[in-house]
Amino acid sequence: MPKTHVDLAPLRVGKGRRPRLDRRDPGDDLGLDRDDEADILADLTERLERQQGLLAASRRSLLAVFQGVDAAGKDGVIKALGHAMQPMLIHLRGFSTPTKPELAHDYLWRVHQETPEKGRMSLFNRSHYEDVLVVRVDELVPRDVWEPRFEQINRFEQFLTDNGTTIVKFMLHVSPDEQLERLRERVHNPIKRWKHNPDDYARRAQWDEYAEAYEDAIRRTSRPDAPWLIVPADRKWVRNIVVMQAIAEALEGMDLAEPPLPEDLPEELRHAPAP
């Protein structure tokens, strides 16, 4: 019998646990068969469409955070989600180098403004975690500035959770070899060349430093109500299935109710359409 879903438990990082990225295979297919991809994605799309519709009628919201090294697949998995759900109900925000006005505020100022409205979903391509990753590895601020941010981020995310936002965080785990192939493709594929940034290749020399920073950040900020999932990202189709399933399960875990029929419906609208 074909495998139709992934056991996400081994991908989740428990509170205070090290993710041990060095022991996780970025090319793991998680027991899935590529021949079953279309059927699995069709089922996940149906689940996501239903739950997104229920979310839109609720006072809840969902925030999905995507982190990973350059070319890990953040753009690709967000594109896949956009195809599976109603894009009008999704708010997408990418976080790059802070602007001058953003630098004039605290580092969470620009992030809080982009969190989802009630009934909506926000997808973050990079996020507030850049302020404990890039600033640490590139020594943009001293340790006594970035070190307290782990607890500040925990408190910030707890505040969002307490106010009705479900949070799920994905670290897209890609191998150095696969990253290099994707960076090559960016250079030689005309329609992807706009993504090319010389800094992306230069950062490969900092691979170990970034791995250490991710290990620390994930260990110190993964909690039951805002978990990190380490997604094997060398196989794009596996990556997409994992992320879509995790978001579907997060939405289903909200136990969203079906909205009642409006009381002031005209008689002609009270009858359900024929199947």
64-78, 90-104, 198-212, 240-254: range with lowest mean pLDDT: 198-212
pTM greater than 0.85 (yes/no): yes
Between CA 226 and CA 214 the distance in angstroms is: 16
**Residues 152-204 pLDDT 10s:** 999 999 999 999 999 999 999 999 999 999 999 999 999 999 889 888 888 99
User: What's the number of domains the chain is made of?
Assistant: 1
CATH number at residue 89: 3.40.50.300
- 158 within a domain of the structure (yes/no): yes
Average of per-residue pLDDT across 52-57: 97
Cβ contact 117:142 at 8 Å: no
Whether residue 166 lies inside any domain: the answer is yes
CB atoms within 10 A of CB 62: 23
Examine residue 5 and state whether it is found in any structural domain, yes or no: no
Q: Are strands 228-232 and 12-13 parallel, antiparallel or unpaired?
A: antiparallel
Q: Please check whether residue 275 lies inside any domain of the structure.
A: no
Q: What is the CA radius of gyration of the chain?
A: 20
Exposure on the CB side of residue 114, measured as CA atoms within 13 A = 22
- The verdict on residue 269 lying in a domain is no
Element counts in the chain: helices (H) and strands (E): 11, 6
Residue 265 maps to a domain: no
Let me know if residue 132 belongs to a domain.
Answer: yes
Q: What is the residue range of 138's domain?
A: 11-256
In a domain, residue 266? The reply is no
> What whole-number distance in Å separates Cα of residue 135 and Cα of residue 144?
12
Average pLDDT over residues 56-80: 97
